[in-house]
Amino acid sequence: MKLFAAALMAAPILASAQVTDPRPEELLQIVFPKWADEEGGRVQSIATSAVTRGWDTRQGKKRNVIVVPGEVMRVSPNRIVLLAALTPAGTDGEPQVSHGTPIGLAAYTFKPGKDGWKLARRQEPFDLQGFEGKAKLEPIEIPGAGQAANASWGSCWQGHCVDVMALYRIGADGVLAQPMLVQKTAGKNLYSRPDCVDRLRGFLAPMAQPDGRDEQVPPGQCYAISAGWLIGANRVPGNPGPLTLHFRGAISKASKDANLPAQEVDQHMKFEFRGGRYVPVSGSNPIPDA
């Protein structure tokens, strides 16, 4: 593994358009020279911060994390950003994860040096998101407005499931830690009650029946909703364009005394980019709180 870093540091500096971006493992070994993609080698020490207190308010100046490299993004002709995931770990290197534990979203910015790429900024982590120490962090292109990172995660608890997304803008100096948008993108509670599959029949694909299908339960809502999203062309040069969430699915609400007939969900929620974040301008998110 040490050969990665050695080869990278020895590489000559060429025009950005003439060289291939380094591999994620190579860049990570500039940040953590002892990092290795093997059991035990991914455990590294980082400085604690206000963000890491989201894992544990009782912390010293350093803490262990399990570091997994993600995508490499070229954000300007002479800047690249490496995305990474950080999982809290104990002094023994084992992950410290429960259902409610978020993962650390990290970013490392690099610039050319006389002997190769060198670290310009470390954001470890810039935010905490997700459940059970899991979340995906993927790069996306924003039409006419640069790049962003999309964090997405999901969780199920006692039959209630939810998926969430968070968008972060990325520039030459790294990731803007305040997300542009945080929204639920899917939700369902089909197996939290014995009657939901039957009540939403006709709106959804055939599904297995839950145990206790004939059990009598008080009125309560049932739903299965998911959304796709799209960023349109920008209207202000340099700013992200409008974002639209399109929700599809079905919901059966309930009054105090009875369940209500199921209804199809097919609606939009629209956002405009203002003051560094997406602001809702029409529609609403129909996914109930779990």
Residue type, 241: G
Domain assignment present for 278 = yes
Give yes or no: residues 144 and 198 share one domain.
Answer: no
Give yes or no: residues 5 and 136 share one domain.
Answer: yes
Domain assignment present for 79 = yes
> Cα separation of 204 and 183, whole Å?
23
> Cα separation of 88 and 102, whole Å?
9
Instruction: Say how many domains are in the chain.
Output: 2
Domain assignment present for 131 = yes
Q: Is the pLDDT of residue 196 over 50?
A: yes
> Cα separation of 192 and 262, whole Å?
17
Give yes or no: residues 37 and 115 share one domain.
Answer: yes
Domain assignment present for 170 = no
Q: Is the pLDDT of residue 161 over 90?
A: yes
Domain assignment present for 160 = no
The boundaries of the domain holding residue 11 are 1-152
Give yes or no: residues 118 and 62 share one domain.
Answer: yes
Give yes or no: residues 215 and 122 share one domain.
Answer: no
Domain assignment present for 130 = yes
CATH (domain of 16)? 3.10.450
Band the pLDDT of 19: cuts 50, 70, 90.
low
Give yes or no: residues 4 and 148 share one domain.
Answer: yes
Q: Vertex 163, ends 264 and 54: CA angle to 5°?
A: 150
pLDDT digits (tens, 9 = 90+) for 223-272: 999 999 999 999 888 899 999 999 999 999 999 999 999 999 999 999 99
The residues pairing with 154 across neighbouring beta strands, listed in sequence order, are 163
DSSP 3-state of 161: strand
pTM of the model: 0.88
HSE-CB of 241 using CA atoms within 13 angstroms:
12
> Cα separation of 100 and 154, whole Å?
11
Q: Domain boundary residue among 152, 171, 206?
A: 152
Is 146 exposed, middle or buried, given 0-12, 13-18 or 19+ CB atoms closer than 10 A? middle
Percent of the chain exceeding pLDDT 70 equals 93
Residue bearing tokens 């995906």: 136
Domain assignment present for 200 = yes
HSE-CB of 99 using CA atoms within 13 angstroms:
5
Is 40 exposed, middle or buried, given 0-12, 13-18 or 19+ CB atoms closer than 10 A? exposed
Give CA separation, 257 vs 213, 217, 290, in Å. Answer: 20, 12, 21
Give yes or no: residues 130 and 35 share one domain.
Answer: yes
Phi then psi dihedrals of residue 26, to 5 deg: -65, -45
Give yes or no: residues 194 and 141 share one domain.
Answer: no
DSSP designation for 131: B
Give yes or no: residues 188 and 50 share one domain.
Answer: no
Number of other CB atoms surrounding residue 105 within 10 Å: 28
DSSP 3-state of 192: coil
Strand residue runs (E) in the chain: 43-47, 62-76, 79-89, 103-113, 116-129, 136-141, 147-157, 160-171, 174-175, 181-188, 222-231, 243-252, 263-274, 277-282
The residues pairing with 205 across neighbouring beta strands, listed in sequence order, are none
pLDDT digits (tens, 9 = 90+) for 34-66: 999 888 899 999 999 999 999 988 888 999 999
Domain assignment present for 158 = no
For the chain, the straight-line distance linking the first and the last C-alpha, in angstroms and rounded, comes to: 44
In which element (H, E) is residue 2 found?
A: helix 2-10
CA-nearest of 134, 126, 69, 127 to 101 is: 134
Q: What is the pLDDT of residue 13?
A: 41
Give yes or no: residues 215 and 286 share one domain.
Answer: yes
pLDDT digits (tens, 9 = 90+) for 123-150: 999 999 999 999 999 999 998 889 999 9
Give yes or no: residues 143 and 9 share one domain.
Answer: yes
Tokens of 26: 């190579």
Give yes or no: residues 119 and 249 share one domain.
Answer: no
